[in-house]
Amino acid sequence: MTHSQPFLLRKMSAGLDKFGRPLPPKAGDYYIPSVTTDAVVIRPRADGWHDVLMITRGHPPYQGRIAFPGGFVDYNEDPKEGCLRELKEECGIDGANPKLVTVAGSPLRDPRKHIISIVYRVDVAETAEVIAGDDAATARFYPLQELLHMPEEAIAFDHKEILKEVVHSLGEDGLPYEI
């Protein structure tokens, strides 16, 4: 037994995880993390650069910070469908053709609890008009270069790191981005 194990056992017996957050319900012998999904919507611009759809969070955690549109996957819902549903609820636009970007699962990516997010790149019509809804205070397209130069504290969760992964995938197409 390591030195930290008794401490962890005391926390878990008190109903807290190793980070001091309440433990989720168990399924059998296992604690199950929650699952969310996020939509990355990118619009090309005439100058060869891109804009990215972001919302301003209207509720904690990270109220007032920008994030990808997204939210919790409903029980019996396919994550791809959840991604398109959340995009519609938060931004008022229909998405199509979700393609996997990454799965983000660091236990500390969300202060509430262990939440794993499945992130998809989603297509929308060029003429789609964004209207903030649900728990988004605002929703709009930001220049990608502006997002990459924002301080970490301006962007919620680990979405800036995810954005960098998106840029790497864009770079494979020969686009003019460096991190």
Identify the structural domains of the chain with CATH numbers, from first to last. 25-171 (3.90.79.10)
φ, ψ of residue 148 to 5 degrees: the values are -65, -25
pLDDT in tens, 129-176: 999 999 999 999 999 999 999 999 999 999 999 999 988 877 655 455
For residue 115, the cross-strand partners are 34
pTM exceeds 0.75, yes or no: yes
Q: What does the alpha-carbon distance between residue 45 and residue 42 come to, in Å, rounded to a whole number?
A: 10
- Give the pLDDT of residue 56: 98
Using CA atoms, how far apart are residues 173 and 137, in angstroms rounded to an integer? 33
In this prediction, residue 170 carries a pLDDT of: 74
The encoded tokens of residue 150 equal 């924002």
Query: Does residue 170 contact residue 44 with C-beta atoms inside 8 Å?
Result: no
* Cβ contacts of 112 within 8 Å, gap of 6 or more: 21, 61
Look at the alpha carbons of 110, 114, 120, 122 in this order and tell me if their dihedral is positive or negative: negative
Per residue in 53-102, pLDDT (tens digit) is 999 999 999 999 999 999 999 999 999 999 999 999 999 999 999 999 99
pLDDT higher at 16 or 13:
16
Q: What pLDDT score does 174 carry?
A: 46
If residue 165 lies in a helix (H) or strand (E), which one and from where to where?
helix 159-171
- What pLDDT is stored for residue 1 in this prediction? 47
Whether the predicted pLDDT of 125 surpasses 90 = yes
Question: With bands split at pLDDT 50, 70 and 90, how would you rate the model's confidence at 8?
Answer: very low
